[in-house]
Amino acid sequence: MPVANATLRSALEHADLRVLLMALFHRTGDRRWLEAPYLPKRDVRLIAEEYAGFPESIRVEILTAAEEAFADLDAPPSITDPGDELMIRMMSSCLGEQVPDEYAPLIREELGFASRDMRWSQGASPKTSKSRKVLIVGAGVSGIALGARLERLGVPYSIVERHPQLGGTWYENRYPGCGVDTPNHAYSFSIGTRYRWRRFFSARDQLFDYLVRCADEFGVRPHIRLETSLTRATWNEEEGRWFYTLETPEGTEEGVADFLVSAIGQFGLPSIPEIEGASEFEGEIFHSAHWPDDLDLAGKRVALVGTGATSMQIAPTIADRVASLEIYQRSPQWARPIPRYHDDIPDEAQWLLENLPFYAEWFRFTLFWRYGDGLLRFLRKDPTWKDPARSLNKVNDRHRQEMTEHIERELAGRDDLIEACVPDYPPYGKRILLDNGWFQTLRKPNVELINDAVGRIDANGIQTSDGRHRPADVVVYATGFQMTQMTSRLNIKGRAGLDLGEAWDEDNPTAHLGMTVPGFPNLFLMLGPNTGLGHGGSAIFLSECQARYITSLIVQMIEGEDQSAEVKSLVHDEYNARVDAEHEELIWTHPGMETYYRNGRGRVFSVMPWRLVDYWGMTRDATLDEFERQALPGPREEGS
């Protein structure tokens, strides 16, 4: 399709040159675009400068070549899938830094050059797969990711969702300012039609719309049963299947599935503090995950309890329309400045993403890389470091200095706020947050940051530990979620009636690769224990890794005529010993702080210690020898 010169020229003026160079190489195959003087300058900013450090003369040369090369958008490329060796060279050239070899197959999948799908070894779905059924609990990101892969394989599945709509956390959380803290061109599925994200960091409504569209496009939507909750699931030893109970709008329903998958993640159960007198409050009082749709805050006195990620999104959004905003802080948080957090993506840049071959793929790569594994190596403890209470190592101390200076600039002239806002623990020890106007919001005349603990709530306000009472019309708990329960809250009983909560000793969830637990055959957990991302990356990426692993095991079991597979205790225990040993070297076991990543006994149960590429490799294909397996008793009739 020939494109008008003016349209192409105007769009190219908004191109990220490092991305454009990769698209130009795909089109032409000319390796000079991977060599000096066309090597971009390394840029570690979260949203990098589009000119990539090139002088004007080189920029003009690149744009002129691109205008000629892409005059016909439908012309065939010289290179589609570069293969591993060339992929490394392209990635390294694009970024201005050497990329390790192990990333090539991962990024080829992530950009769609290679498939992440599991396939039947016979080339077509065996007939026996039609009688093996999968029940997925949760229609959020993970449920959709797995459903899409099962749909392609032809394995029957159902997804039950307790809410009246799909979307998981992006349906449930509708508070003002709700959005993603990972750029959406990386926080999106590796499959499916390209979606027009309006901003680098999109708001909740766009995320919800995206998931609805994906569920339709992937063929998942017809398999979802809304307003349907799993209330019990029990492993039947004799049958080798899961017997479950659902609560539906029509009443209680019993069912049977060969495989049970929990896709509810870690953030589904709000943590509501027990505060004396809360039941006496006469105004609106609720958790941020239960924000009322019709709530009008204009002219209201609002009390916001908590200063985590949710509060940092709510406060800047509502501060200018409330009469007063009191923010109750238990501990300060480190936050990174994001200069382009609110930027819209220009129409010309959108045109490139939607029309220029290979441009969107490499744009996704640059964001995936900046929000990926680069930080993890700087979160290791240096045993020789002189001041471990302040920071972990030289780079971590530099990060502390940079973020402290940012706080001091934002709050200049307000020494009281600076003192209250600079944390006393190393950066990244807790979830790192993005400053989308938080510190400037704290300066507003109608906003007060309160460090005294909440003592009690009465009919018309909050009293703090110093005895002071502040009136309020609305109280919002931005107090996070109950993390340790995860799948155990679904009332699941495995072999010999073992309850999952008991297996986890109530607050110590563990699983092999975060997905399988001894004593619970044919049960898979998605975004389960030790799969959170503390150092960066996309939860959608992890969901797709896990969907690959789960379908790999299911396909191998069906083809091998296995009835059940239960991870061996030794495999599970050795893996978690490795997780714990690795965490001992990382920041999240630092003794001078509290974090929801750790349980009551101090063990890190939430986040993973691995690089994204490591976890991708671990979950690429399930290893049957790691499981105790039982063979099918005999051929099962179709539909039984």
Query: What is the pTM assigned to this prediction?
Result: 0.95
How long is the chain?
640
DSSP letter string over 242-265? EEEEEEETTEEEEEEESEEEE---
CA–CA distance, 3 with 41 (Å, rounded to integer): 30
Mean pLDDT of 227-240: 97
CA distance 614 to 176: 36
List residues bridging with 199 in a β-sheet.
344
Check pLDDT > 70 for residue 3.
no
472 and 487, same domain (yes or no) = no
pLDDT at 396 over 50: yes
CB 392, CB 426: distance < 8 Å: yes
**CA dihedral in degrees (624, 629, 630, 632; nearest 10)?**
-20
CA separation for the pair 181, 104 (Å, rounded): 26
Count of the separate structural domains present in the chain: 3
Kindly indicate the confidence band of residue 394, based on its pLDDT and cuts at 50, 70 and 90.
very high
- pLDDT (average), residues 503-517: 96
Return the H-helix or E-strand segment holding 8: helix 5-12
Task: Name the pLDDT band for 145 (thresholds 50, 70, 90).
Answer: very high
Flag whether 121 is in a domain.
no
Structure letter (DSSP) for residue 81:
-
The CA distance from 330 to 311, in Å, is 12
Q: Flag whether 122 is in a domain.
A: no
Cα separation of 506 and 315, whole Å? 34
Tokens of 143: 């449920």
331 φ, ψ (degrees, to nearest 5)? -150, 145
The predicted pLDDT at position 124 comes to 65
**Per-residue pLDDT tens for 308-331?**
999 999 999 999 999 999 999 999
**Is there a single domain that holds both residue 297 and residue 254?**
no
Closest to 282 (Cα-Cα) out of 467, 104, 458, 508: 458
| Residues 144 and 540 sit within 8 Å (Cβ to Cβ) | no
What's the rounded Cα separation, in Å, for the pair 367 and 53?
Answer: 17
**CA 191 to CA 306: how far, in whole Å?**
37
Give the model's pLDDT for residue 126. Answer: 74
Is residue 136 domain-shared with residue 106, that is, in the same domain?
Answer: no
What is the distance between the alpha carbons of residues 237 and 425, in angstroms, rounded to a whole number?
Answer: 49
Among 477, 499, 524, which residue terminates a domain? Answer: 477
Task: Give the pLDDT mean for 495-515.
Answer: 96
Q: Is the model's pLDDT at 432 over the cut of 90?
A: no
Which residue bears the tokens 């109280």?
475
- Clarify whether residues 136 and 246 are in a common domain: yes
Percent of the chain with pLDDT over 90: 88
CB contact set of 364 (below 8 Å; sequence gap of 6+): 110, 111, 185, 186, 188
> What is the mean pLDDT of the segment spanning 108-135?
87
The pLDDT value given to residue 592: 77
Render pLDDT for 553-576 as a digit per residue (tens, 0 to 9): 999 999 999 999 999 999 999 999
Distance, C-alpha 187 to centroid of its chain: 7
Last residue of a domain, one of 477, 506, 523: 477
pLDDT for res 329: 97
User: Quick one: which of 556, 513, 630 has its CA closest to 155?
Assistant: 556
Residue 109 sits in the same domain as residue 135 = no
Q: 638 lies in a domain? A: no
Residue 15 contacts residue 40 (beta carbons within 8 Å): no
Structure-block tokens of residue 185: 């061109």
Residue 418 pLDDT class (50, 70, 90 cuts): very high
Residue 634: the pLDDT is 65
Distance CA(203)–CA(140), nearest Å, equals 16
Do 315 and 441 sit in the same domain of this protein?
yes
Instruction: Judge whether 639 lies within some domain.
Output: no
Q: How would you classify residue 596: left for phi > 0, otherwise alpha for psi between -120 and 50, otherwise beta?
A: alpha
- Does residue 558 sit in the same domain as residue 497? yes
Q: Do 90 and 204 share a domain, yes or no?
A: no
Tokens at 20, concatenated: 């454009």
620 within domain boundaries: yes
Residue 38: CA atoms inside 13 Å, Cβ hemisphere, count?
Answer: 22
Which single residue is written with the structure tokens 């349906």?
171
Q: Residue 467 belongs to what domain range?
A: 278-340+390-477
Last residue of a domain, one of 477, 510, 543: 477
Q: Which residues of 284-305 are buried (b: 16+ CB within 10 A; e: fewer)?
A: bbbbbbebeeeeebeebbbbbb
Quick one: 185 and 285 in the same domain?
no
pLDDT tier, 596 (very low <50, low <70, confident <90, very high otherwise): confident
Domain-embedded: residue 380: no
Does residue 250 carry a pLDDT above 50?
Answer: yes
Which element (helix H / strand E) includes 324? strand 324-328
Residue 636 has pLDDT above 90, yes or no: no
Do residue 538 and residue 421 come from a single domain?
Answer: no
Q: Is the pLDDT of residue 61 over 80?
A: yes
At residue 640, the pLDDT reads 41
Euclidean distance between CA atoms 582 and 530, whole angstroms: 12
How far apart are the C-alpha atoms of 339 and 337, rounded to whole Å?
6
Q: For residues 591 and 389, give the distance between their C-alpha atoms in angstroms, rounded to a whole number.
A: 9
pLDDT in tens, 252-294: 999 999 999 999 998 888 999 999 999 999 999 999 999 999 9
Instruction: Examine residue 572 and state whether it is found in any structural domain, yes or no.
Output: yes
CB 158 within 8 A of CB 133: yes
Q: Exposed, middle or buried by CB within 10 Å (0-12, 13-18, 19+), for 199?
A: middle
Cα torsion angle, 86, 89, 92, 93, sign: negative
Cα separation, 110 vs 258, in Å, equals 30
CATH at 529: 3.50.50.60
Amino acid at 574: E
Residue 463 located in a structural domain: yes
DSSP SS3 for 338: coil
Strand order in the sheet with 447-450: 284-287, 474-477, 301-305, 324-328, 447-450
DSSP per residue over 191-214, as a string?
Answer: SSS----SBSS-BHHHHHHHHHHH
Neighbouring CB atoms inside 10 A of 545's CB total: 26
- pLDDT of residue 639 exceeding 50, the answer is no
Mean per-residue pLDDT of the chain: 94
Cβ atoms of 597 and 604 closer than 8 Å: yes
Distances (CA, A) of 615 to 30, 90, 122, 635: 34, 23, 28, 36
Q: Please tell me whether residues 78 and 195 are part of one structural domain.
A: no
195 and 151 housed in the same domain? yes
Calpha distance 289→481 (Å, rounded): 9
Pairwise CA distance, residues 549 & 149, whole Å: 11
CA 622, CA 524: separation in Å to the nearest integer? 12
The Cα 411–Cα 439 span in angstroms is 7
**Pick from 217-226, 334-343, 459-468, 505-514: least confident:** 334-343
* 3-class DSSP state of 440: helix
Cα–Cα dist 266/526, whole Å: 9
